[in-house]
């Protein structure tokens, strides 16, 4: 069954059938991905949230699972209007872990979602667009100062312009030119804007809570480390006293 899912999702002849006719889109996409990875490889990310490696791994695993669920399931309001919370998961990933991890979480969640619940051949352009929902807030919160609410609003505004109205539209037109054109997709943007607005409202609420949660977690970890250090020091003193008695 799993092999059948992979075959359905990764029909490479279908995925890259437009690569000859519209190769320039793919070249631009490849150049962008290389530049993106180069940026995060050479540019040291500012330290934020004081997360340990174990905590980062845990967050990546949990958020990737949530991104997968978000890609598979939508909240159906009506036949024309379904709300996806992928952008909210991407925001959390970028806010907590930074742009690189945020991009990886959303891209991986989209990839796994395409394998678990394929709707035709996997679209790598849509996968990269989905990654932007984690990349943009990660850059906004790690590399820029300012009000968190303003950065949240800017993150979602850029996300709508770059992802919903940009990369995703191009991705659909490239992969499925028979079924999707710019004339067909552009009228759907108001509904997509409404979905982005819902995700933005959720994240505005989260931004008011997350700093306190992170600070509380950091203080608890610091307290545990202090207690552990005190216990180790006490054990060392007891050992020294025992040595003195023996002597």
Q: What is the mean pLDDT of each run of 10 residues along the chain (247 residues)?
A: 50 59 70 78 70 87 95 83 93 93 94 84 86 94 92 96 91 80 88 95 93 71 55 55 53
User: Could you tell me if 29 and 128 are in contact, meaning their C-beta atoms sit under 8 angstroms apart?
Assistant: yes
What does the domain layout of the chain look like in residue ranges? Answer: 2-208, 212-247
- Angle CA(174)–CA(121)–CA(161) in degrees, nearest 5? 45
C-alpha to C-alpha distances, 183 to 37, 133, 178, 179, 242, nearest whole angstrom: 33, 25, 12, 11, 84
User: Could you tell me if 84 and 90 are in contact, meaning their C-beta atoms sit under 8 angstroms apart?
Assistant: no
Distant-in-sequence, close-in-space partners of 197: CB < 8 Å, separation ≥ 6:
156
Nearest residue to 29 via CA among 111, 144, 153, 129: 129
Tokens of 115: 């394998």
Nearest residue to 193 via CA among 168, 170, 173, 210: 168
User: Could you tell me if 177 and 140 are in contact, meaning their C-beta atoms sit under 8 angstroms apart?
Assistant: no
> Phi and psi for 148 in degrees, rounded to 5?
-65, -35
Around Cβ 7, how many Cβ atoms within 10 Å? Answer: 11
pLDDT at 5: 47
Nearest residue to 62 via CA among 99, 101, 100: 101
Query: How far is it, in rounded angstroms, from Cα 27 to Cα 2?
Result: 31
Nearest residue to 125 via CA among 20, 4, 236, 29: 29
- Report strand pairing: 75-76 vs 82-83: antiparallel
pLDDT at 2: 43
CATH number for the region 2-208 comes to 1.10.1760.20
Identify the three-state secondary structure at position 73.
Answer: coil
Distant-in-sequence, close-in-space partners of 24: CB < 8 Å, separation ≥ 6:
none
């Amino acid at each position: 069954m799993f092999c059948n899912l992979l075959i359905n999702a990764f029909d490479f002849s279908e995925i890259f059938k437009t690569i000859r006719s519209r190769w320039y889109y793919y070249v631009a996409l490849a150049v962008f991905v290389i530049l993106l990875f180069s940026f995060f490889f050479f540019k040291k990310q500012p330290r934020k949230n004081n997360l340990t490696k174990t905590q980062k791994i845990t967050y990546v695993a949990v958020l990737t699972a949530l991104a997968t669920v978000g890609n598979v399931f939508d909240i159906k309001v009506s036949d024309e209007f379904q709300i996806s919370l992928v952008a909210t998961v991407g925001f959390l990933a970028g806010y907590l872990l930074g742009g690189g991890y945020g991009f990886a979480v959303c891209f991986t969640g989209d990839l796994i979602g395409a394998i678990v619940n394929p709707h035709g051949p996997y679209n790598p352009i849509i996968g990269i667009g989905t990654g932007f929902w984690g990349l943009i807030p990660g850059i906004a919160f790690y590399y820029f100062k300012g009000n968190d609410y303003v950065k949240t609003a800017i993150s979602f505004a850029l996300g709508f312009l770059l992802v919903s109205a940009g990369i995703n539209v191009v991705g659909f037109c490239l992969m499925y030119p028979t079924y999707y054109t710019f004339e067909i997709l552009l009228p759907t943007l108001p509904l997509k804007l409404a979905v982005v607005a819902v995700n933005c409202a959720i994240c505005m609420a989260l931004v008011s809570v997350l700093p306190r949660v992170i600070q509380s977690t950091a203080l608890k970890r610091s307290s545990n480390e202090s207690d552990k250090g005190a216990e180790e020091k006490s054990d060392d003193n007891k050992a020294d006293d025992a040595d003195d008695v023996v002597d």
